Structure 1
């Protein structure tokens, strides 16, 4: 019987093929979030026409990294045989990123647990509704962004801090939310206290940034990237932008974040809570004193910022799903796997309601039962995550010399 048992590699290939087929079927079933698809289509065409002049000829608020992907999409869509599949092609990079992240999960879980565990975790991610609703139905690119973050943190755990800095920088230059995760690299550099690591990370980050930014910087200098980020951050000055978080719970969805809540404005409260979140993640990292806590710290960062900061969108919690899975792989506490399930549920419903019921959620008048329940659940999940990871840091294994 054992000889007839399928090899794990074959099972993994079958799972990946099934996951791909599911996503293709979902991708062509609906257009997705029409405004996002329309923007990606237009940006792809503009990038394909003249990549270097992209920001002169478009109103894009995206940092430059994903514009390279849109450039390739635009070139593909220029072929008449491909153009009928425009929506699928636009969604394809995120779909492939889903599969790559699942494969990543399998590889790392197989290394620290078993190949069977790797298969189960890869399947969990592949067929997680919160994952494929984002890429295959909505048509957003959070999966691509998440893959960059996962690669960055994994390389950090492998002591490859120069390469880790490359991926952290790439993530920041894809979405401003990448800044949320930069403290994790800082935590490790402070922990090791090695000047060589610090210099390697700095040089790698600078070179990566220049390579990505320079093609768009002809005749405009380098300050344009700062202006782009500043404009993107200021574009939605609201306590919550359809994010089911603390401010959603308080009824502040699409409420201007300059308004006062108790002593301070919503915006200032958000900044204060970002700082406190980062300090708590750092405390966990100090107490854990191990690279094993890198994924847990990254998970705390995104859960804390999404739940407590202003100007959050509905999809910003998405990376927490994969990060919680990796945190479980490294720290081996079942509570982290349940956290992955919890953020999957809240992320799915937040995305689902905005994708299919936008007209009822877009402003504070849409504040209703489900917004309250899911927002409260996200607050409770954050508290549980903080307690769980802090407990694990206090009770770390003293004999773990690998990290």
Structure 2
């Protein structure tokens, strides 16, 4: 797909911010185009996850150069194509509280969505149905995990009705905890930290949420490549993410289940290495222990 090249180009632009000279941005472009999940998703499966993911990568690029209006418009475009664009929402909430994004620009996001549904409305589809399409899709299937290499691979689907509400509640609590910890940190959100937080956001959400497909890790696949170029010492994170997603596409249950373990470790590692999260979390934990003692 043509959008694959646009996604790779935006990856090139983000990596170019880290390396103004040299060939690393070009290599980043090629890695995206030639990555197995990009090939499987677009060329072999004919899926369009690259479209909303490109919107998310554009959002991150514009955030990187501190242009919040194009960033929010890009996020709005991504959300208009797929609800899974919300995987980047924790990052946006962090930047909102850190005042990198101004609250009065937030209406741009739903405005983009409304504009994108207007053609369908003009063709005769009810406007209420268009506005609530994501809510109506929520109960389309009842599986804890549909090929996604996350922690729900280890829970029998018989517990679906019990696990889903608990998991959604814990996910919301975890997001607010993450946002709170970063907000309380006095460290500035630098470009490197922005990439850390973006990677955590798109990897964390599909890993802890139930009802995920294998394709929902697509944004994490792309962000992990950017992460690898920003932090070459941790390139193995991208390999783990790509391998886990790849076996998800192959649909081999035992490998999907097994790769959920290294993928979970990769998520833990990225969180632990993020200096606006782990030190603060460690300090809060130690403080609570001291109070109890």
Q: Deviations over 1:294-347 (max 9, x none)?
A: 332232222222111111011111111221233455xx4335432122101111
Query: Counterparts of 1:221-370 in structure 2 under 5 Å?
Result: 222-252=127-157, 255=158, 257-258=160-161, 265-283=162-180, 285-286=182-183, 287=185, 288-292=187-191, 293-329=193-229, 332-353=230-251, 367=253, 369-370=254-255
Q: Runs of 5+ in structure 1 lacking a partner?
A: 1-94, 259-264, 354-360, 362-366, 396-403
Q: How has the CA–CA distance of structure 1 residues 193 and 174 changed in structure 2, closer, same or farther, with 3 Å as cutoff? A: closer
- Report the secondary structure of 1:243's partner residue: coil
Q: How has the CA–CA distance of structure 1 residues 335 and 275 changed in structure 2, closer, same or farther, with 3 Å as cutoff? A: farther
Is 2:118 the counterpart of 1:214?
yes
Distance 1:267 1:134 in 2: 27
After TM superposition, give the deviation of residue 246 of structure 1 in Å: 0.6
Q: How has the CA–CA distance of structure 1 residues 120 and 163 changed in structure 2, closer, same or farther, with 3 Å as cutoff? A: same
Q: How has the CA–CA distance of structure 1 residues 173 and 328 changed in structure 2, closer, same or farther, with 3 Å as cutoff? A: same
Q: How has the CA–CA distance of structure 1 residues 335 and 277 changed in structure 2, closer, same or farther, with 3 Å as cutoff? A: farther
**TM-score, reference length from structure 2:** 0.83
**1:164 counterpart (47, 50, 71):** 71
Q: How has the CA–CA distance of structure 1 residues 394 and 117 changed in structure 2, closer, same or farther, with 3 Å as cutoff? A: farther
After TM superposition, give the deviation of residue 132 of structure 1 in Å: 0.9
Query: Counterparts of 1:185-224 in structure 2 under 5 Å?
Result: 185-192=92-99, 197-202=102-107, 204-218=108-122, 222-224=127-129
Bigger Rg, structure 1 or 2: 1
Q: How has the CA–CA distance of structure 1 residues 285 and 158 changed in structure 2, closer, same or farther, with 3 Å as cutoff? A: farther
Distance 2:266 2:278 in 1: 18
Say whether the 8 Å CA contact 2:171–2:209 is kept in structure 1. yes
- Report the secondary structure of 1:234's partner residue: coil
CA RMSD of aligned residues (A): 2.6
Distance 2:276 2:190 in 1: 16
Is 2:259 the counterpart of 1:374?
yes
Q: Runs of 5+ in structure 2 lacking a partner?
A: 281-293
Distance 1:272 1:380 in 2: 22
Q: How has the CA–CA distance of structure 1 residues 267 and 256 changed in structure 2, closer, same or farther, with 3 Å as cutoff? A: same
Q: How has the CA–CA distance of structure 1 residues 145 and 256 changed in structure 2, closer, same or farther, with 3 Å as cutoff? A: farther
Q: How has the CA–CA distance of structure 1 residues 294 and 269 changed in structure 2, closer, same or farther, with 3 Å as cutoff? A: farther
Distance 1:180 1:192 in 2: 20
- Report the secondary structure of 2:106's partner residue: helix
Distance 1:374 1:381 in 2: 11
Q: Deviations over 1:44-63 (max 9, x none)?
A: xxxxxxxxxxxxxxxxxxxx
Say whether the 8 Å CA contact 1:257–1:310 is kept in structure 2. no
Query: Counterparts of 1:37-186 in structure 2 under 5 Å?
Result: 95-113=1-19, 114-186=21-93
Name which structure has the greater RCO, CA cutoff 8 Å, separation 6+: 2
Distance 2:38 2:233 in 1: 20
4+ residue segments displaced more than 6 Å = none
Say whether the 8 Å CA contact 1:281–1:297 is kept in structure 2. no
Distance 2:180 2:134 in 1: 29
Distance 1:190 1:241 in 2: 34
Q: How has the CA–CA distance of structure 1 residues 339 and 193 changed in structure 2, closer, same or farther, with 3 Å as cutoff? A: closer
Distance 1:284 1:97 in 2: 36
Q: How has the CA–CA distance of structure 1 residues 214 and 302 changed in structure 2, closer, same or farther, with 3 Å as cutoff? A: same
